[in-house]
């Protein structure tokens, strides 16, 4: 076999292999949050024992519990099937880093800390779906 023919066969085999292997489909960014139940949620905070009820249109709202306004920039630090970590910055109002771990579509563990209005905050607790808003 000539060197040229060997190169052609190698190139052909490589092309056939590349076309036969299916492309790996990536899940949408923060897909876990999109699977959480919509509606009413009760947040139970560890430490001070405080509670707060919120109405959630989608699970991404849990990222910014201290900075509820829009227009903040976000950077996804970790995006797994059952846990996400997102760092965000809200110009003129501070920033935060939130980790959300899903135990079910109606139960999540949330840890968030950062700066709001010049003061530090730290939240740790769980959120449970309670039904419709």
The pLDDT tens digits for 82-112 are: 999 999 999 999 999 999 999 999 999 999 9
Per DSSP, the chain holds a count of helices (H) and strands (E) of 2, 7
| Contact assessment for residue 112 and residue 61, using Cβ atoms and an 8 Å cutoff | no
Inside any domain, residue 9: no
Residue 97 lies in a domain: yes
Structure tokens at 64: 């910014």
Domain limits at 60?
30-131
Q: Residue 12: inside a domain, yes or no?
A: no
User: Is 6 part of any domain?
Assistant: no
Q: Kindly report the CA angle at 94 between 119 and 75, in degrees rounded to 5?
A: 135
Q: Give the separation between CA 120 and CA 115, rounded to whole angstroms.
A: 4
Residue 51 falls within a domain, yes or no? yes
Specify the pTM.
0.77
Residue 1 falls inside a structural domain: no
Look at residue 116 and tell me if it is in a domain: yes
Q: How many domains does the chain have?
A: 1
pLDDT tens-digit profile of 19-40? 444 444 555 799 999 999 999 9
Residue 18 lies in a domain: no
Q: CB 73: neighbour CB atoms within 10 A?
A: 10
**Structure confidence by residue, pLDDT tens digits, 46-77:** 988 789 999 999 999 999 999 888 889 999 99
């Amino acid at each position: 076999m000539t060197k040229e023919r060997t190169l052609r066969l190698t190139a052909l085999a490589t092309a056939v292999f590349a076309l036969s292997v299916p492309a790996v489909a990536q899940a949408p960014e923060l897909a876990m949050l999109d699977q959480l139940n919509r509606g009413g949620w009760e947040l139970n905070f560890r430490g001070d024992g405080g509670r707060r009820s919120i109405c959630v249109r989608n699970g991404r709202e849990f990222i910014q519990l201290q900075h509820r306004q829009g227009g903040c920039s976000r950077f996804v630090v970790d995006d797994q099937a059952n846990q996400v970590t997102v760092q965000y910055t809200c110009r003129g109002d501070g920033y935060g880093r939130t980790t959300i771990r899903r135990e079910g579509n109606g139960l999540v563990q949330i840890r968030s800390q950062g700066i709001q209005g010049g003061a530090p905050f730290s939240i740790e607790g769980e959120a449970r779906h309670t039904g419709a808003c």
